[in-house]
């Protein structure tokens, strides 16, 4: 009964390929995020969705396209993968009411582009 | 632009020692959070500080928010090997947007 789950956990692929990472949450939260953590452990927000609508897009290249089929899912599709896309990608949700300051992170997807 | 400067980036200490991690910014945040991340997992929220000058304690961890709400510190007393991990501070902006510091990798040796 993991609150925020991501698949796959590891993804190794060739440059130029297209890949998707999936995120699912069972917390019933309206707001979901994608973050990228680079090799120096720096964590940066990429996108934010609220109830299936895009709220934040942090100047991420067009090759990255988030898709939210329903409130419980926020997937990340990446076209034409580049070496610099290698990183750990985290999905997160934001609590509501008294817990609205709390973000709940998934376990991460480790992407390696060769 | 890096809005949050976290220091030190790496810290290796012996069990029982005390340590302090600093998080400084030129920006004012509505609140500031500290997260802990273990290898292979996502960050987990430790604390949120909201009021300037606020001090919060979580067992051996003491968190402080600066009076001007631009900086924060995390102090660990009598560190234990179980405290090993990556500590991240994050400033909270509108819409729940988090601006993270570079992180502090703490290693506590038995």
The reply to whether residue B96 touches residue A106, judged by beta carbons under 8 angstroms, is no
Contacts of B100 in chain A (CB under 8 A): 42-44
CA distance B12 to B1: 28
pLDDT at B2: 53
Question: Six-digit token pair at B39?
Answer: 């290898």
**Alpha helices, DSSP H, located in B1-110:** none
Q: Residue A16 pLDDT > 60, yes or no?
A: yes
Cβ-nearest to B98 among A42, A103, A106: A103
Summarised one tens digit per residue, pLDDT across range B63-98 is 999 999 889 999 999 999 999 999 999 998 877 789
The pLDDT value given to residue B44: 95
Tokens found for residue B54: 């606020």
| Mean pLDDT of all residues belonging to chain B | 93
Total structural domains within chain A: 1
pLDDT in tens, A52-90: 788 878 878 999 999 999 989 999 999 999 999 999 999
A54 in B contact zone (CB under 8 Å): no
pLDDT reading at A21 higher than 60: yes
Helix, strand, or coil (residue B72):
strand
Confidence band of A15 (pLDDT split at 50, 70, 90)? very high
Residue, of A101 and B38, whose pLDDT is higher: B38
Whether the bond between B73 and the residue before it is cis, its omega within 30 degrees of 0, is no
- Kindly tell me the number of DSSP H helices and DSSP E strands found in chain B: 0, 11
Q: Which domains does chain B have, with CATH numbers?
A: 4-109 (2.60.40.10)
Q: What is the pLDDT of residue A50?
A: 86
Count the helix, strand and coil residues of chain B and give each as a percent rounded to the nearest 5.
5, 55, 40
From A71's Cα to the closest Cα of chain B, the distance in A is 17
| Confidence band for B29, pLDDT divided at 50, 70 and 90 | confident
We report the CATH number of the domain holding residue A9 as 2.60.40.10
Q: What is the pLDDT of residue B96?
A: 77
Whether B96 and A100 lie within 8 Å, measured CB to CB: yes
Question: Mean per-residue pLDDT for B1-8?
Answer: 82
Whole-number Å distance between alpha carbons of B15 and B101: 25
The range of the structural domain enclosing residue A51 comes to 4-113
Query: How close does chain B come to A2, measured CA to CA in Å?
Result: 12
State mean pLDDT over B2-31: 92
Distance (Å, whole) CA B90 – CA A37: 14
The secondary structure of chain A, three-state, reads CCCEEEECCEEEECCCCCEEEEEEECCCCCEEEEEEECCCCCEEEEEEEECCEEEEECCCCCCEEEEEEECCEEEEEECCCCHHHCEEEEEEEECCHHHCCCEEECCCEEEEEC
Q: What is the mean pLDDT of residues B55-67?
A: 95
pLDDT grade, residue B10 (50/70/90)? Answer: very high
Contact B40 A103 (CB under 8 A): no
CB contact (8 A) between residue A43 and residue B31: no
């Amino acid at each position: 009964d993991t609150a925020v789950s991501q698949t796959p956990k590891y993804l190794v692929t060739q440059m130029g390929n297209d890949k998707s990472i999936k995120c699912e949450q069972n917390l019933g939260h309206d707001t979901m995020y994608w973050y990228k953590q680079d090799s120096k452990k720096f964590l940066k927000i990429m996108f934010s969705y609220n109830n299936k609508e895009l709220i934040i897009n942090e100047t991420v290249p067009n090759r990255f396209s988030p898709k939210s089929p329903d409130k419980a899912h926020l997937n990340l599709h990446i076209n034409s993968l580049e070496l610099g896309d290698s990183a750990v990608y985290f999905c997160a949700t934001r609590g509501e009411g008294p817990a609205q300051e709390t973000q709940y992170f998934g376990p991460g997807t480790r992407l390696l582009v060769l | 632009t890096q809005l949050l400067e976290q220091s030190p980036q790496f810290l290796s200490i012996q069990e029982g020692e005390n340590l302090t991690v600093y998080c400084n910014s030129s920006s004012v945040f509505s609140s500031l959070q500290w997260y802990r991340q273990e290898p292979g997992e996502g960050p987990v929220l430790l604390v949120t500080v909201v009021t300037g000058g606020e001090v919060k304690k979580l067992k051996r961890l003491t968190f402080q928010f600066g009076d001007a709400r631009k900086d924060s510190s995390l102090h660990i007393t009598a560190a234990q090997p179980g405290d090993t991990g990556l500590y991240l501070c994050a400033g909270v902006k509108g819409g729940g947007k988090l601006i993270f510091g570079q992180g502090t990798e703490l290693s506590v040796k038995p």
